[in-house]
Amino acid sequence: MTETVTQPWGIITHVLLCGWFLWCLRFRLKAALMLFAILGAAILIGQGVKSVIKDKVQEPRPFVVWLEKTQHIPTDEFYNLKRKERSELVKSQLETQQEVPAWLRKHWQKETGFAFPSGHTMFAASWALLGVGLLWPRRRTLTIALLLVWATGVMGSRLLLGMHWPRDLVVATIISWALITLATWLAQKLCGPLSPPPQEADEIAERDDEP
């Protein structure tokens, strides 16, 4: 689940979701295109805000705290190192740790930054919240269910992989909600409503009547 948000797979996920959402919103295409343009900018701003918060709060990842307890590597010394040096340290310290799977060791080597808030959660939660807000009136219940399961899976995987604490996910979700709310409001302000127009309402009614 985590890899669907991690680069480069996150770009593919983003493109696929954009394509499907635009199809679902084709009756409001102008407003939808504006929304995704604004949303793209909002996500970039959000990632910037996330990076600033991470540098200010400097909360260690759970696996770094575990390294401190088991390998006696103080967290402050760990984060004083450059990213490449952190990766090399994780690799050298865990080479003989058979209880840590090789794939998890590699994952830890790649993600040695601070924990708070969760960028992966911001990405997944943004799409899930957007799905609930825009696709629920269009009766796209299967898409909404899949988005919610996917977002929950991404968030759960971040906890299981030792990347984040629960509070990281909660705050990231709140930030996502604020960004989605702002982006949707701006899009409707500039291009009109995103709610289903009369012709789409007829199509929705026909889908509802299908056995």
Asked if residue 190 and residue 138 are part of one domain, the reply reads: yes
Verify that 98 and 199 share a domain, yes or no: no
**Are 127 and 195 in a shared domain?**
yes
Each of the 211 residues of the chain gets a pLDDT tens digit; together they read 677 777 777 778 888 888 888 787 776 777 777 777 877 777 777 777 777 887 787 888 888 888 888 878 888 888 888 888 888 888 887 877 777 787 888 888 888 888 888 888 888 888 898 888 777 777 788 888 999 999 999 899 888 888 888 999 999 899 888 888 887 787 777 776 667 777 777 677 666 655 5
End-of-domain residue from the set 51, 85, 113 = 113
* Active-site option among 14, 72, 107, 120: 120
Using CA atoms in the order 28, 191, 11, 56, what is the torsion angle rounded to 10 degrees? -140
Number of domains in the chain: 2
CATH of the domain at 124: 1.20.144.10
Shared domain for 34 and 76, answered yes or no, is: no
Given 113, 131, 151, the domain boundary residue is 113
Same domain for 125 and 34? Answer: yes
Q: Where does residue 131 rank: exposed (0-12), middle (13-18), buried (19+ CB within 10 A)?
A: buried
User: Do 108 and 122 belong together in one domain?
Assistant: no
Give the integer Cα–Cα distance in Å for 141 and 150: 14
Domain end residue (candidates: 71, 98, 113)? 113
Q: The domain containing residue 84 runs over which residues?
A: 61-113
Q: State if pTM tops 0.95.
A: no
Residues 38 and 76 in one domain: no
Longest alpha-carbon distance in the chain = 65
Q: What is the pLDDT, as a whole number, of residue 151?
A: 92
Query: Is there a catalytic annotation at residue 107?
Result: no
Same domain, 75 and 127: no
Give me the catalytic one of 14, 72, 107, 164: 164
> Do 169 and 82 have their domain in common?
no
Measured between alpha carbons, how far is 49 from 55 in angstroms, rounded to an integer?
10
Task: Look at residue 170 in the predicted model and tell me its pLDDT.
Answer: 93
Active site residue 164: yes
